[in-house]
Each structure stands twice: as structure tokens, then as C-alpha cells.
Structure 1
Amino acid sequence: MEREPIDHDGTGQQRAELFRVGPSYIARWMHIATHHSTLDARERTVVLALGSALGDLLRHRNSVESARRRGIPVSKLDKSTRPSPEVQAALIEATKDFFLSYYSVVSAMASLVKRFPSVFDNPPHTSNEKFLEWMKDIALFSEHWPKLHAARDFRTLIDHPAAKQPYNWGTVDDVSGALRAALHGPAGATGNIPEGAEHLKDGEEWHEEDAWTFVAPDEDEVLTLLAVQLNAIVDRIQIARFNPESLPCDWEESYREGDTEHGYPVFAIGNGVITGEGPMTPELSAEDRERINAILAPYVTAIRAGDPTPDA
């Protein structure tokens, strides 16, 4: 992996682009967190719980995409222009599962950062909405944060039907032509519509009495925005808990189905320019740098001498 900076402060540096996440991305950060950081049993458990929740979300993303592919014509003789009821039902069911699983990931992430009070400053953990607002301050790709709020609104609507306005499910083609599940329904007694929904535009047709629609947020973007926060969280933990005895490490990524053949980027967790000396650690004090240099010194000496393992 190459470590890349992200322009957080508008200095003109090119912003990084969202990328598709596969199983090895999650596996790598789980390895870094559990192998290269000093964790107690409870801390290790919450780290692995987040990895498991992200793995579930990834599988649900794949299920959404598999259901969507069922609606793509596979023959030039197939002249159908509308998805069959079976395709729509499969896509809707997979979409439900994805966004219910989304909630579990955010909860697991909040549980993890709560376990490291010396690393993370008093994160809220009793409300996912408040946690997302807190997380934005340290997040990677924070400019895309509205997508996670939209995912939260969508999940809240489908998981609390008794407390929200009534709706029906349907499917629509998005601007890219991809088939997506969507909610639609009438306005409330005062004309209000659910949070995150949009008023129907001219030409949009659902039921005659419908006033709003809420197209499911892009599942691939939602997964990536959550998974990439492993980079933001684990890097901060490692700065405070780096285990020098974990080096050298011969662990290698095992790319599996769904992984990119080009590998995955690793991002700096602070502003600045990265040099060829190694990964950047943001805003370190002179004391912190001395501690890190003392930890790394025997390994640097051993590597320069041609011996990958320093003397004990």
C-alpha cells in the first residue's frame, strides 16, 4: 500500500477519490490493529467486532449488487424494459439487510473508540447520530459525510415504521442507470415528509397520493466511507500503542474475490506532505518524536546492517 495525503484544509492539494473496498482491505486493518498495537482482551474484542460487522456489511453490499444484476438483460433477444417482480423483491430485501447492518457497523465503531479514552476525546456512544457528528472531525473523506447521514435516515425510516410516516417500496433507475430500491409515500397531516426524503419532482410518478420519495443511498459508497475509517482510527491507536515486538512482520495480504488487483491506498491522518522517510505522524511533539525514534532505532540499525532482526 502507498500512503496518500488528503486535502482537508483546501490548500489546493488534489483530493483523493473514493475507492471500492474488498475483503482484504478489512483484513489488513484488522491485522495492523491486533498485531502491531498493544491491546488488552477487551480492546481486542471490540476491534475484531468492528471488523466482523464490516465484513457483514460487505457481504450485504454484494447481495444488493447480485440482486441488481438479475435485472440486466443477458441476451439480445431479451427485450424486457422493466425489472420483474422477483428481481424487485430480491433487490428490496437485500437493500433492507444492508441498511440494517449499516447501523451495526456504526454502533461497533462507537464501541471501539470508547475503549480508547487516551486516544479519542470523549466520543459519544449512546447515539449513532451524535457519534457520526463527532467522528466527522477525525474522519477521512469527511466531505462525503452527508452520504452517511442519508444512510442513517434511510435506515431509521425502514426500522421504525410505527414511529415514522407510512411508505411503500419500489425500484427506480438512478442517474447512472443502476436499479435501486426506493421508498415513497404520502405527506404527513401537516404536509411534512420524512427526514432525508425529497419531494416528488415533475414527471416522477408513484401512487397518485404520494408526495415524496427516498432512493436508497449508494451501498458501495456507504461501505467505503465506513471501512476507510479503520485507517483513521487504527492509525491513531497505533501511534499511542505501537508494539515494537511486532516487527519484523512477514504477514502478506491475500487478495480474494472482490479485491482490487492494484491494492488499496493508505491515507495520512493529518494535513501535511509525506516524505520518503515513511508514514507521516501528524503534529507530533519533540518528545513524541524522541520516543518513536528510540523504538525504531534498533530496527533501522539492523536493516542498514543487512540483518532484519535486531539484537534483543
Structure 2
Amino acid sequence: MYRAKEQGKNNVITYNSNIEQRIIDKLTFEVELRNAIENDELVLYYQPQIDLETKEIVGAEALLRWNHPTLGLIFPGDIIPFAEEMGMADELGEWVLQNACHQLKYWQDSGFPSLKVAVNISPQDFLKNGLVERVKQVLEMTKLEPKSLELEITESMTMDVNHAITILENLNELGVQIAIDDFGIGYSSLNYLKNFPIHHLKIDRSFVNDILNDQNDVKIISAIVSLAHGLNLDVIAEGVETKEQADFLSNLHCDQVQGYYYSKPVKPGEFEEILRLGFMKHE
């Protein structure tokens, strides 16, 4: 019955033992995930975002990890979909937001005031009421300046234009930054670039992978950068893995980058060590 409901209305699913096992696995996962929040098994890793002109770290993207006691490190792609399916997206999203803001405030108080932190917002979180109030409460609780927080949403979340405009305008009034993640592979309507209060576009890694070999990728990135700068938006490129890619993006006037060439996502202590040592990639 539950499997049939998942497939939409007017569906018939024949019972088999695999379906029963799947339901058992989901229930087990739900219990374990709820315990993970209570038992401090969740942790945020941080990937530096680098200004291509100054070569300095200007921010960090907060990325969720689950230190599972038997399965080891579990990544967001295996956590978020289950959390949304089980109705835990709100709880998980609030945990990420609170911890990311607390961590950034600590780093700023330690002498890195110009840093910002980027937090991904799930579609379920964005579409429900209460997101703006939750963000406001977390900012007040952590005493973090709103401009230091960047919320990343995907293009698909903006398809309900009226809802998106309302939410984004309210977030903008709080003073937080808004970034469109994975730009170019989703909805890609230029209308929201004109009407939505956004501040950054994040170029998807799929365009960066072959930038040295594929002229179409070069043209796409160049067009995105030109379009963004014409609208007074900054551009961040993800998935930068080589110096050649970084240099190429710099020549295309991309503003910021992140990727394994600079650093993989690291634990808070490792990120803090990078900050304290002073970060500059050798030319």
C-alpha cells in the first residue's frame, strides 16, 4: 500500500519481500537518524571558497556528514532524500543552520571577520512556511551578522515564482545572501535573475570539468559570467580540480571558486588550521 502511494494515485503494486525489507530499512534509518541528532553523530565539513583575484578564503560551504557507528561516513546524497521522505527535513535543516552559524561566529570572533558561510536549503524546507522565521531566530541566537550567511537554493525551487519571490524578498530583508546553486542545469529561467533578490550564481561542476577541452563549456561559462556581472551578481565556480582550470576561470573573470585543487571539504578544526596558517595557493 505504501509503495503504491509513493508512485502516485491509481497504482497497484504486487507484494514481494523486497518491498517489506525496504520499509524495514526505512524505519531503521529513521530511528538511527533521529538518534544521530541526539548523539552528536552529525558533523559539518567545510569547503573553502576562494577569491580568484586575491587568492584568499572569503567563505566556506557547510556540507553535512553523518558519522554512522557501523556504516562509517555517510554523505548528504544518502541523508537528505531519506530525511525529506520521512518528514525530517525541517529538523535536519535547522540543525545544519544552527551549527554552521555558531561555527562561523566562532571563527569571526577568532579574527576572521570577513568570512561567510553557505548553507544549502532543501526543496522541502524552502517550500514550507517558517523558513524565514527560523533563519531570523538562528541569526539572533548566534549573534551572526545576516550578511555573513548565504543560503543556497536550486533553480527548481523557483518554479513556483510567486512563492519564491515572497520567501526570497523576506530573506533579503533580513540581510542574508542568496545564491542559485548548480546554475545552468535546471530551470534556467532568466526571469528570476531579473525579479528575484539574489546575490550569487554557482556554476555547476559539469561545466568546469571539461573547460580546457570543450569550447561549448567555455562559451557557457563566459556567458554566465557576463550575464551575472551585468546584473551585479558574483559568480562562484564549483569543482575546480587543477591550476589550469583555476587560471582559465580567472581569465574568464569568474569571481570565486571552490574545489579539490584548493581543498576538499574538511572538519572544522582542519579548516581553522588552514585559516590560521594563511591561505594562498602557490602559483
Could you say whether these structures have the same fold, taking a TM-score greater than 0.5 normalized by the shorter chain as the test?
A: no
TM bracket (short chain): under 0.3
Please state which structure has a larger fraction of its residues in strand: 2
Larger RCO (CA within 8 A; separation ≥ 6): 1
Larger Rg: 1
Q: TM-score, normalised by structure 1?
A: 0.25
Please state which structure has a larger fraction of its residues in helix: 2
